[in-house]
Structure 1
Amino acid sequence: MADASSSSIPYDTVASTLGVWIVSFFLATILYGMGFLQVWLYFHWYPNDGWKLNLLVLTIFVLETVQVTTFFAATYDVLIKHFGDWTAVLAITWLHSAQLLAGYLSAFVVQMYFACTIFLLNGPGIQRWIFTVPIVLSALTELAMTLGQTIAITYIASFTQIDKTTWIYSLLSACTFACDVLIAFALYITLMGKRTAIQEIAGLQYFPSRSNTIIRKLTIYAINRGVLTAIAAAINLILFLAMPNTFYYFIGLLTSSKLYMNSMLAALNSRQYIAQASEDEAARCWNSIPVHVLHSEPHRSRGATIATNVTNTNSSVYQDETSSRDSKLGFSADNI
């Protein structure tokens, strides 16, 4: 970054600071708007959810509102109140500390939500601890580094000295990345295990169970969620280390918490869609029965047996087995 006393600031310096600042704020605002819409849809579609999930959604919404509001205030302060004052651009105020803290607190809450989900999905046994303990430890380390970074940037008071916090910020971003990867991996293994268990219970050759369809869709969503947030954390760390004395790392920093917000709300709001899609797929299965299963009397008996198994599976396995398990993914708010 150019020295604050410079009479003429090069264009490249402005582009790599204020330019990236505006672009990052633009992207963060779009993602916040998407999250705001999802919050409204959540309370509109699921008014009967328990108070725990309602409180979780409100907490995330408040933290993200604080984050985007304080960063907007910092932007207004730099571009309007102190227009042309390069010292103000490089100054770290309480607004920067507040938005950083709010954003990472929001990410921490979402990470703990998914850790709780993984813990509940895995029944009593060692596997639930193998999956959840590393996630919780990395999330707690991330929270500790967040507090340390917030305090550190308050004392240095200028972006020209941000390199003094490199080790804290690097560890913070690395823990965020590791936590996201662990969550995605744990969800994938857990859900695929449930899928295999349901297949063994159902024992169906031509009629995949409704629960199996739901779990397959949830697995895809879980992987996508982890990939997005992990990429944002990786971009944040890489740009911070590879392009010092610039604000390029703002791109990953400001969008990261919004991706967490949207990923959690998307998981909650997609419950009805996943359930309906699984019902449609189950209905289509009846139209795909091979002709040879009805070719002879023994085969007709077999087809009737399969149909009976389907009915029993969809009514008992789905309600008794998957409803309780899928509810812990957010299908029933009272269980989280």
Structure 2
Amino acid sequence: MPTSPLASTLGVWLVTQLLQAILYGMGLLQAYLYFYWYPGDGWFTKAAVILITLCETAQTCLFFGGSYQFFIFGFGDFTPFTPVPWESKAQLLALTLSTFIAQEYFAHTLYLIHERKILYPLFVSLLGLASLGAGIAQCSILFSITSFVELGKTSTALNAQAATALACDFAITAGLCWRLNTSRTGIQSTNRLINFVIMTVINRGVLTMLFALLNIILWVTQPEAFYFLLMNSMCGKFYMNSMLAILNTRDHARTLARGGSSIAAPSFAMNSRADTRGPIGVNVTVTETMHE
């Protein structure tokens, strides 16, 4: 079967749209479940969920708008890469903002579980700001070009954004895992809870770091294809889903803590769905209950 010359460009674009639509649907379901299950959360957490959902909604709609320009208005045009639809440029800005919101949310989580010590969370927050700045620079350059052939002009900004996002994700994962691991006690139910949260954090970090790394590799090795676009677009959806998954698994984590221990923390409230303010974290106070 002959390969289409558009397989590595518009073909990848269509695959990207399909995959991110699936992940977007998963994210919307998680957002709905979050507001249904945890109406008592504080407004900081609610605002983060609302903002990241709005950004990912805008990104998905704009990406579809770019597809419409290519495949409807550009139908039969065998030079579809000129001009670049403005929707294709704007979707990158929405993606950059979505990534920043998730990174700053996790920086705030680190601030809470590190007993409000500012240095390490500030470092993570600055990495997030650096990633945002590089992303905005990339968007600015992208709006100045007229053809995908000129994408090479965004190379420095693209690599800087992906590298700082990768560094930020690594710092978030390392900081959360270290603090959680030092919260272990001799009580089995508490350690079971901590193991669950650590695995959740690692799974979150591995996905986003892997795709950020692949984004750089594919851009450097195959800049003429859109494979890097697939990795870049997936990152935003992974941020959204991982952030909401961590928030939505708090009740499951609470069941792991049952069995003779009660855990209370301003950042990981375990008492009820109506009292789950703040991001997930572990600042553990354990009260052991004796069972006859």
* Alignment TM-score > 0.5, same fold: yes
Matched, 1:326 2:252: no
Matches of 1:102 and 1:236 in 2, distance apart? 17
Q: Which one of 139, 154, 157 corresponds to residue 168 of structure 1?
A: 157
Decide whether the 8 Å contact of 1:52 with 1:333 is kept in 2. Answer: no
More helix by share: 1
2:55 aligned residue: 63
Letter in 2 for 1:211: T
In the alignment, which residue of structure 2 is the partner of 1:266? 245
Q: What's the CA shift for 1:52?
A: 2.2
Bigger radius of gyration among the two: 1
Q: Aligned ranges for residues 183-332 of structure 1 at < 5 Å?
A: 183-195=172-184, 199=185, 204=186, 207-208=187-188, 210-279=189-258, 282=259, 314-315=261-262, 318-319=263-264, 323-327=265-269
Q: Distance in 2 between matches of 1:334 and 1:188?
A: 21
Q: Which residue of 1 aligns with 2:284?
A: none
Aligned to 2:136: 147
The alignment's TM-score, normalised by the length of structure 2, stands at 0.88
Mark the runs of 5 or more structure 1 residues left unpaired by the alignment. Answer: 1-9, 283-309
Query: Separation in 1 of the partners of 2:48 and 2:198?
Result: 22
Q: CA–CA distance in 2 between the matches of 1:325 and 1:53?
A: 11
Maintained 8 Å contact 1:52/1:334 = no
What CA distance in whole angstroms lies between the structure 1 residues aligned with 2:266 and 2:224? 51
- The answer for the alignment partner of 2:97 in structure 1 is 105
One-letter identity of the residue aligned with 2:228: Y
Corresponding residue for residue 135 of structure 1:
124
Q: Is the 8 A contact 2:65 2:88 kept in 1?
A: no
| 1:45 counterpart residue number | 37
What does residue 93 of structure 1 align with? Answer: 85
5+ residue gaps, structure 2: 280-292
Distance across 2 between alignment mates of 1:274 and 1:90 = 51
| Between 182-191 and 116-125, the greater mean CA deviation after superposition | 116-125
Could you tell me how far apart the structure 2 residues matched to 1:101 and 1:140 are? 14
| Residue of structure 1 equivalent to 2:289 | none
Pair 1:178 & 2:157 matched: no
Count, aligned residues: 275
| Contact 1:53–1:333 (Cα < 8 Å) also in 2 | no
Residue 212 of structure 1 deviates from its aligned partner by 2.8
CA distance in 1, matches of 2:105, 2:222: 33
Change (3 A) 1:175 1:41: same
Per-residue deviation at 1:159?
A: 0.8
CA RMSD of aligned residues (A): 2.0
Check 1:239–1:12 CA distance in 2 against 1; reply closer, same or farther (3 A cut): farther
- Counterpart of 1:21 in structure 2 is 13
SS at match of 1:194: coil
Q: What is the deviation of 1:142?
A: 0.8
Give the residue type in structure 1 aligned to 2:78.
Answer: W
Partner SS for 2:55: helix
Runs of 4+ in structure 1 deviating by more than 4 angstroms, as ranges, are none
Q: 1:271 to 1:89 in 2, by over 3 A?
A: same
Match of residue 291 from structure 1 = none
- The alpha carbon displacement at 1:12 in A equals 4.5
